[in-house]
A and B are shown apart, each in its own frame.
Chain A
Amino acid sequence: MKLTKTFDKALWVFHVNSGSCNGCDIEIVAALTPRYDVERFGIKLVGSPRHADVLLFTGPVTRKMKERVLRVIDQTPEPKVVMVVGNCGSTTGVFYDSYAIDGPIDTLLPPGTHIVYVTGCPVRPENLINGVKEAWLYLEKLRGDDK
């Protein structure tokens, strides 16, 4: 699919918490507020997955959330990028060996989904901005022209 040039300069983001400790979620909000202010790059948090281009994903996927998380991912229109935020989202991190965890999320996603990993426990807001840059680079490639 070819994208227009404006697309990747105004990324809309939906935040899904699949059972994280909140540390990363707080840092995501911190990244939106004045000190780091990602809104100046055109990144905006939206209230529905149907409006989103990027899914900000935190947490190790608890058993109860699994189905709901997959539904949200399904509801997000293509092309999309799934940004996995935090160590526990990427590998389940400190929450290993538990009966209640079905993640990490990358084992549940349909093949071909583009994933960007942002590491840290919790992530630093600077690293989060770097992750968004990675998402841009991917979406820019989809634009089709060389610019």
Chain B
Amino acid sequence: MSDKNTYQVPIGPIHPAFKEPFMVNFVLDGETIVDAEAHPGMNHRGVEFMGMHRNPLKVIPLAERICGICSIVHQHMFTTATEHAAGIEPTERARYIRTILAELERIHSHVLWAGVAAHEIGFDTHLHFTWKVRERVMDLLEYITGNRVNYAMWTIGGVNRDITKKMYPKIEDTLLYYESLYGKLEDIFLGDTSIRLRTRNVGILTEEDALRLCGVGPTVRASGVRKDVRIDQPYAAYGDLDLDYVIPSSFGYENTGDVFSKTLVRLKEIPQSIDLIRQCVDGMPDGDIDSEPRKAVLINKLKKADGEGIGRIEAPRGEAFHYVRLEGGMEEVANWKVRASTYNNLTTYRPMFMGEQIADIPIIAACIDPCIGCMDRAEVVDVRSGERKHFSHEELHRLSVEKTKMLLGGLP
């Protein structure tokens, strides 16, 4: 912008406000933000390219390392898409185990976010409190899967490790712990006046903008948009479970779409997850955890498979999506496309930043719960001219709409 009254402040890619390499260029008029431009691509590792040179079982560990916070999400989507492409059905028991783990991850991710949000507005005590609380769910995940992050639980057609009856008491213990603590979390993040001052009417995303920019997850549910893949297109065991959209108006709040509402939605999803895990544990079917335990046979089967498949999941940050194509006779994955939730939500930054102050940058940046590791795989390079292309928000939106249309038209 050439106006002499405005000046530009680049923030990132290495900056204490961002834990990940990401860059936003802000145009400021005094203290007020008049424009914001995101520069993604710093974290681009070429994950899809690497995946297309490995066999599907080797891609699973790579998929979970797209992002360490949502590692379950990516392995879940990749396996679902591959199963869809190869015509393999996961066993019933595996579906339930997957659901339990996915909901545990949602708890850990939302508690983590609450801590980061508190840190961004200067309440480090709450950061330490929430992260202390989070260790309990990490313990449980470690107890079930054997690792704190990156669990290697998923395999094509099922899961690698079982959740046995012996583990139920420990799961219940952890759930009770979170239930007893929930009131305190709500007190801190919804009741505290100073937090309310920093979050109410800050970073507003109207319902109209939320729909127009194709945002996903808690970011748009806070604006009153009813959108949740777990309900709209159930996967894993969600079809058997009882759940509803979490939007502020169901709890007697207004659907304002500000940072406060986003906090509210995330917090309210914690008891929902607890409830879903209980439902899964109660209804856990008997049977195998894996439809084909012999890996060599499985690889052979995948090598012969021919077809394409999709996996759509409601990640803690919103809807995410994988596309996989397998070609008969080819051991590697023929085509793999990842679209993570932050990719959609990033476009909502612009209306949220507009007119706010520099001091609100960190909390607004944090309020979509950005996950750059997930998002930064796509960079468009025109191979013939070697030209790199940046997308404007309008272009991104147009492409996103086109893709939705294509997907709706191309699939049953």
Note all chain B residues with C-beta closer than 8 A to A47.
16
Complex Cα gap A64–B21 (Å): 10
Nearest CB in chain B to that of A69: its residue: B14
**In the complex the two chains form, is B61's CB within 8 Å of A100's CB?**
no
B132-168 contact mask (Cβ, 8 Å, vs A): 1 or 0: 1011001000000000111000000000000000000
| Stretch binding the partner chain, chosen from B39-47, B185-193, B240-248 | B39-47
Please state if A27 and B148 are interface contacts (CB–CB under 8 Å): yes
Check if A35 sits within 8 Å of B135, measured CB to CB.
yes
Closest B residue to A37 using CB positions: B128
Q: Classify chain B's interface size.
A: 35 or more
Closest residue on chain B to residue A23 by CB atoms? B68
A97 with B45, Cβ < 8 A, contacts A33-B128, A34-B131 known: no
- Cβ contact of B373, chosen from A15, A22, A98, cutoff 8 A: A22
Given the known A-B contacts A34-B131, A35-B135, are A22 and B20 also in contact in the complex, defined by CB atoms under 8 Å?
yes
- Known contacts A19-B21, A64-B42, A100-B45; A30/B68 CB under 8 A: no
Which residues of chain A are within 8 angstroms of B127 by Cβ–Cβ distance?
Answer: 33
B69 CB within 8 Å of chain A: yes
Which A residues touch B20, using CB under 8 A? Answer: 17, 22, 25
Interface band, chain A = 35 or more
A99→B131 contact, CB < 8 A? no
Query: What is the distance, in angstroms, from B222's C-beta to the closest C-beta of chain A?
Result: 23
Chain B's nearest CB lies how many Å from the CB of A18? 7
B304 at the interface (CB under 8 A from A): no
Q: Are A122 and B148 in contact (CB under 8 A)?
A: yes
The listed residue (A68, A99, A121) touching B14 by CB distance below 8 A is A68
Give residues of chain B (278-307) contacting chain A, Cβ–Cβ below 8 Å: none
Task: Find out whether the CB atom of A19 lies under 8 angstroms from the CB atom of B42.
Answer: yes
Say yes or no for B66: interface residue by CB 8 A criterion. Answer: yes
Taking CB atoms, residues of chain B closer than 8 Å to A100 are 44-46, 49
A24 CB-CB contact with B under 8 Å? yes
Closest Cβ–Cβ distance, residue B172 to chain A (whole Å): 22
What 1/0 mask marks residues of chain A from 1 to 45 whose CB sits below 8 Å from any chain B CB? Answer: 000000000000001111111111111011001110000000000
Question: Which residues of chain A have C-beta atoms less than 8 A from B49's C-beta?
Answer: 98-100
Distance between A42 CB and nearest chain B CB, rounded to angstroms: 17
The minimal Cβ–Cβ distance linking A137 to chain B, given in whole angstroms, is 26
Smallest beta-carbon distance A123→chain B, Å = 9
Closest to B135 in A: A35
Instruction: Report 29 cross-chain contacts, Cβ distance below 8 Å, ordered by A residue.
Output: A17-B14, A17-B19, A18-B21, A19-B21, A19-B373, A20-B373, A22-B68, A23-B65, A23-B69, A23-B149, A26-B149, A30-B131, A30-B134, A33-B115, A35-B131, A62-B21, A62-B43, A62-B44, A63-B44, A65-B43, A68-B13, A72-B14, A94-B61, A95-B50, A98-B50, A100-B49, A121-B65, A121-B150, A124-B148
Q: Which 7 A-B pairs have the closest CB atoms?
A: A23-B68, A33-B131, A100-B46, A22-B68, A98-B46, A47-B16, A34-B132
